[in-house]
């Protein structure tokens, strides 16, 4: 058994089944788009699973409490394929390290700036104020497009549309 912590995630309702697959349970729903999910015993904050979901274009804002071997962490994915994680204090405030001279570590500042931009974008998407950056071009859905969506003829078509054949390019003229 690994190190356990409490993990809370805000995401789109369309993405909730993906989080249920890794052990999170719905704690609260906010109309029309948002769901809050929790895992009280998340192994290492499910960091590897969050990274995998981010690569698939899943939008989320995650808050992991401290485990025995690590401190609290905030992770965000704005649907662009990357998860950005920053250190936090026990009240979920961002923490930036200082060097031995008391100067802020430049790499941490850059990471926090990237995190804040991605967090604002993710919040807008989850709250329904902005479109998902990887929404299906065929049906407009913002479900899990996965990496396969980008491999289907180079389109951003969801698996449902891809499976139906709707996305197929017009035949070349003879």
- Give per-residue pLDDT as tens, 81-90: 889 999 898 8
**Per-residue pLDDT at 71:** 82
d(CA 24, CA 37): 6
CA dihedral 32, 115, 52, 73 (to 10 degrees): -100
**Whether residue 1 has pLDDT greater than 90:** no
Maximal CA-CA distance, the chain: 72
**E strand or H helix that includes residue 120:** helix 106-126
Mean pLDDT within 27-51: 83
**Per-residue pLDDT at 42:** 76
> Tokens standing for 91?
């009240």
Instruction: Give per-residue pLDDT as tens, 89-143.
Output: 888 888 888 999 999 988 989 999 999 999 999 999 888 888 777 666 666 555 4
**Whether residue 149 has pLDDT greater than 80:** no
SS3 of residue 35 by DSSP: strand
**Whether residue 168 has pLDDT greater than 90:** no
Would you kindly state where each structural domain of the chain is located, as residue ranges?
4-126, 134-168
d(CA 29, CA 32): 8
Mean pLDDT within 20-32: 85
> Which residues, listed in sequence order, are joined to residue 62 by a DSSP beta bridge?
9, 75
**Per-residue pLDDT at 136:** 62
């Amino acid at each position: 058994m690994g190190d356990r912590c409490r993990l809370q995630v805000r995401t789109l309702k369309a993405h909730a089944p993906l989080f249920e697959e890794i052990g999170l349970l719905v704690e609260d729903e906010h109309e029309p788009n948002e769901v809050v999910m929790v895992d009280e015993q998340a192994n290492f904050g499910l960091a590897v699973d969050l990274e995998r979901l981010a690569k698939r274009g899943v939008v989320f804002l995650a808050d992991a409490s401290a485990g025995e071997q690590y401190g609290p962490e905030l992770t965000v994915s704005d649907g662009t394929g990357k998860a950005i994680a920053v250190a936090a204090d026990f009240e979920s405030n961002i923490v930036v390290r200082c060097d031995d001279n008391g100067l802020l570590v430049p790499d941490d500042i850059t990471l926090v700036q990237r995190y804040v931009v991605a967090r604002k974008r993710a919040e807008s998407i989850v709250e329904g104020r902005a479109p998902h950056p990887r929404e299906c071009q065929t049906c407009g859905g913002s479900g899990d497009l996965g990496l396969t969506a980008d491999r289907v003829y180079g389109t951003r078509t969801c698996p449902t549309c891809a499976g139906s054949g709707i996305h197929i390019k017009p035949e070349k003229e003879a």
